[in-house]
Structure 1
Amino acid sequence: MTASIRNPAARRAELRRLMLAHETASVDELCAILSASPATIRRDLAALEAEGLLSRTHGGAAVQSIRAVEQNFAQRELEDVEEKRLIAEATVALIAPGSTIFMNDGSTLMAVARAIVSAGIEVFVATPAVNVAAKLSENPRVMACLLGGFVRPTSLATSGHFTEAMVAQIDADLAILASDAVSVSGGMAFRHPGDAGLAQRMMERSRETILVATARKLNKRQRIIAAPLSRIGKLVTGPGAPVKDLVAAGINIVTAGDQRDSDAA
């Protein structure tokens, strides 16, 4: 169950996200998840149906013709929800107002985008992620710059020469990055070489890099190493994450819920 969302637009966006992840749901199920009344959920479903985003069924609703990438992302957003929220809040606490920031893509970065919007801080964010840029644009104090390039259908993020050329024109304070794996021996690593290359360009154009990672990403390896962890300014992870080896290697850890750096504890 999530906390009751009073704003209709925000509640409908959450409802849409849940429907993408589950494809079908009953009114009773949605009431329980969103802590809303049946009348409210029915109004929201009617509004989303009018926009062509879902179809109402007897006692609920269904999403048809879902793109695999949208469903995959929605399902990943439902993993480790509380941990990602805590990581996002801890990350936003490290951002100075007026900063220029790079963010790559992923469900943890989407949580960071939500936290930035909620915090109302004034920042400039350049990102290849279409969904992250759209979320950031909800707050007029955030200037969201969508990096141009070829959109990969598997991630809904841009990549390639044009994307990296735009990165080269930006002088950033921070690169807030998520990767597919993090380990002492394998560094910050990715499955896709384009993701690794873009992360490298963002780090080169930033004064500091903050890596965000849930516990399931730690002490794992992937095929493409973007950078050793010695290049990372801070690693922000969730409470109870397995950081013993990372701390022993001298990595600066910020544990969500505890703003003390590991080397200051």
Structure 2
Amino acid sequence: MSKSKRAPGVRRAEIRRILRSQQSATVEELCALLQASPATIRRDLAALADNDELERSHGGAVVPLLREAEQNFAQRESIDAEEKQAIAEAVLPLIAPASTLFMNDGTTVMAIAKVLVESGIELFVATPAVNVAAKLSESRAITACLLGGFVRQTSLATTGPFAEAMAAQINADLAIISPDGLHAEHGLTFMNADDASLARRMVAQSRSIVAVATRPKLMSVKRVAGVALSSVDHLVCGCSRAEIPAPLTDSGVNIISRPKERK
């Protein structure tokens, strides 16, 4: 089996995700999951341990026990992970250097944040997501602005009037919005009213809007209306165009779908 050519930062981010999800892993398990050599994995684990991001164990590594919200987030990250990575890579060309962005919260947004950090692009990013802001702050080229508000434990994101008041003071070039559901007629919908309200504020303050959604969210309607699909400039999906429901392809929104697999 050929070994992967992933950059060390990408590989180590994946190791962190794996350990957050399952708490521990052996070198052999990580080699199989990442298609890397034992020597490479051991170097990665040593580097992460030096940064106090994990603890070495006999033959592998463990992470300290996470809060329930962090564990839930790590588990959700593993769902449709390939689609989320495809979305993140497709969003990157839409972002101009030195631009100002809004990004809401969620695991797809986190995937985008990781790609932005790896790209080295200079940006100003405002987000309600505590974990996304922390990830973005790893890049010296990115100014991460955490929108203040009440931190909801289930999402690791801020909500409420304070977050909206901060967002109202920012004029963004682009808003990247990950909804809970996306429908041709009902637009971008959310489970939480505060999330819907903040998304509307971000859209109102931005010159261009990008909606991002994995296949299970397409043609799904959630509890609270958020943003009309007509307000969206680009819809970025992680699935192939053939998998996108016809009502969305016929809606007139510009759809960026997953490219054909390289041979």
Structure 1 and Structure 2 fold alike (TM over 0.5): yes
Contact 2:10 2:118 in 1 (8 A): no
Give the superposition deviation at 1:120.
Answer: 2.4
| Partner residue, 1:208 | 208
Give the superposition deviation at 1:101.
Answer: 0.8
Quick check: 203-212 or 74-83, which moved more? Answer: 74-83
| Partner residue, 1:77 | 77
Contact 1:89 1:256 in 2 (8 A): no
Contact 1:186 1:222 in 2 (8 A): no
| Partner residue, 1:261 | none
Provide the rounded CA distance (Å) in 1 between the counterparts of 2:91 and 2:7.
25
Q: Which runs of 5+ in 2 are unaligned?
A: none
Give the superposition deviation at 1:153.
Answer: 0.9
User: Which of structure 1's runs of 4+ aligned residues deviate more than 6 A?
Assistant: none
Q: Deviations over 1:78-108 (max 9, x none)?
A: 2222222221122111112221110001111
The yes-or-no answer on 1:91 pairing with 2:91 is yes
Contact 1:83 1:214 in 2 (8 A): yes
| Partner residue, 1:157 | 157
Q: Deviations over 1:37-81 (max 9, x none)?
A: 335545655665676655555544444532221112112222222
- TM-score normalized by the length of structure 1: 0.86
Provide the rounded CA distance (Å) in 2 between the counterparts of 1:138 and 1:2.
27
- TM-score normalized by the length of structure 2: 0.87
| Partner residue, 2:245 | 243
Provide the rounded CA distance (Å) in 2 between the counterparts of 1:239 and 1:68.
30
| Partner residue, 1:263 | none
Give the superposition deviation at 1:256.
Answer: 3.3
| Partner residue, 1:224 | 224
2:249 partner letter: V
Change (3 A) 1:2 1:168: farther
Provide the rounded CA distance (Å) in 1 between the counterparts of 2:3 and 2:181.
28
Q: Deviations over 1:99-140 (max 9, x none)?
A: 111000111111111222222222211111122112222222
Provide the rounded CA distance (Å) in 1 between the counterparts of 2:10 and 2:87.
21
Give the superposition deviation at 1:24.
Answer: 3.2
Give the superposition deviation at 1:158.
Answer: 1.1
The percent identity for this pair of structures is 53
Q: How many residues align?
A: 257
